[in-house]
Amino acid sequence: MSLPWPAPTPDGPVRGTVSVPGSKSVTNRALLLSGLAYGRSTVHGVPGTRDSALMCGALRSLGLAVEVDGETVTIDGGTLKGGGAVDCGLAGTVMRFVPPAATLADGAVVFDGDPHARERPMSTVLDALRALGAVVDGDRLPFVLHGAGGLTGGDVTIDASASSQFVSGLLLSGARYDKGVTVHHDGKPVPSLPHIEMTVAMLREAGVVVDDPESSGEANTWRVEPGPIAARTWAVEPDLSNASVFLAAAAATGGEVTVAGWPAGSTQPGAEILDVLARMGATVTSTAAGMRVAGGDLHGVDVDLHEASELTPTVAALAALADGPSVIRGVAHIRGHETDRLAALRTELAALGAEVEETADGLAIRPAPLAATDRPWGAYADHRMATAGAIVGLRVRGLTVDDVACTDKTIPDFPGRWAALVS
């Protein structure tokens, strides 16, 4: 682990324009679909992040030719091979999306990842694959999936209340199954539904026939028809959840920050940050230069982030700096993310002096005077915990983050980008 990183504390309001790397969620869906398509596909705007590199490595482990040239990745997709080993790192999109594809390989594929990845829920997708005809040894990382060159597919019922990735993972490969796949969700509401909507939209862009609850009228059911996945060119839009961190700098300091290239319309849940910031007192304006946020008095907020739970660390950091209490609801499932984010946020904010209660499905935060201590802000090897510490550091002089390098998961050179904006 690197030495603790001193989070910059500006002397005044932060002002500037930033460009953020491409969306991790769009990227790894596009890369996987390219691997499943017969023919050559190209993905433009791929961020140079660990998650993207892990997905490229996974496709290579399945016998595919993957060429990376800067932010452009070319993949010759089609026939998948067994005998390899997939490193999932700490990437949920790799550990949940690639196993359904590996059922199409002609032999065993070994999956493993970082130590904390071995604690993340996996049985939902692995049990679903077993129900569809796959043979899998193990219920979480490490495990071995015995590919048989194809999968019968068909109907399967799962409880996806812990992660929308369980649904997306099955849908992305479903067109290559003999009977396609029909996924029924039976349980509490699925978190981050926009991520499933993103999956459905991208499948349709690749020529796959998909029925979702909106088109079929059947609640909690998604069906992918068997058929070819088209090789094509993909363009990845900026990652709006990562953009939220930079926009938060404006809200925290009363400054003005513009994110260039903000898409006119997006299925990314991170777009919800605009409404949250407006409710906290910022002014949000779409301009020719990009999406601009101008900070004002920072108010507390009562917000349900069930659909955009990845924003929780950013919103919690701002809530600790606000002029009144905040409640974040609907995010119980983020206890199973890269770390238990609710416990981690409670621990780190309380260490600085905030009053934080971990509720059944979120956090209640009551601001108080904050002060750095000799103890660094803990990142827990979680990129969003690290960036939350950077936001708090905008107003808490002397705060350090123990592992800022983990931000490479989704934001290459975050320390340099952050310093360029706020210093």
Indicate which residues carry an active-site annotation.
Answer: 310
CA distance 204 to 228: 11
Per residue in 357-371, is it b (16+ CB within 10 Å) or e — as a string? ebeebbbbbbbeebe
163 is in an annotated binding site: yes
310 is in an annotated binding site: yes
> What does the block give as tokens for 226?
């068997």
25 is in an annotated binding site: yes
92 is in an annotated binding site: yes
192 is in an annotated binding site: yes
CA neighbor of 120 nearest in space, from 142, 98, 151, 104: 142
409 is in an annotated binding site: yes
> What does the block give as tokens for 98?
């690639």
397 is in an annotated binding site: no
179 is in an annotated binding site: no
Contact assessment for residue 240 and residue 23, using Cβ atoms and an 8 Å cutoff: yes
Residue with tokens 């009977």: 179
Structural element, H or E, at residue 226:
none
- Cα→Cα distances 272→93, 223, 306, Å: 21, 27, 11
Report CA 149 to chain centroid distance, whole Å: 30
Partners of residue 18 on adjacent β-strands: 259
Per residue in 267-294, is it b (16+ CB within 10 Å) or e — as a string? bbbbbbbbebbeebbbebeeeeebbbbb
384 is in an annotated binding site: yes
Contact assessment for residue 250 and residue 257, using Cβ atoms and an 8 Å cutoff: yes
164 is in an annotated binding site: yes
29 is in an annotated binding site: yes
130 is in an annotated binding site: no
CA neighbor of 245 nearest in space, from 377, 414, 376, 358: 414
146 is in an annotated binding site: no
34 is in an annotated binding site: no
Annotated binding residues for phosphoenolpyruvate, as ranges? 24, 92, 120, 165, 341, 384, 409
Annotated binding residues for 3-phosphoshikimate, as ranges? 24-25, 29, 163-165, 192, 310, 337
Annotated binding residues, as ranges? 24-25, 29, 92, 120, 163-165, 192, 310, 337, 341, 384, 409
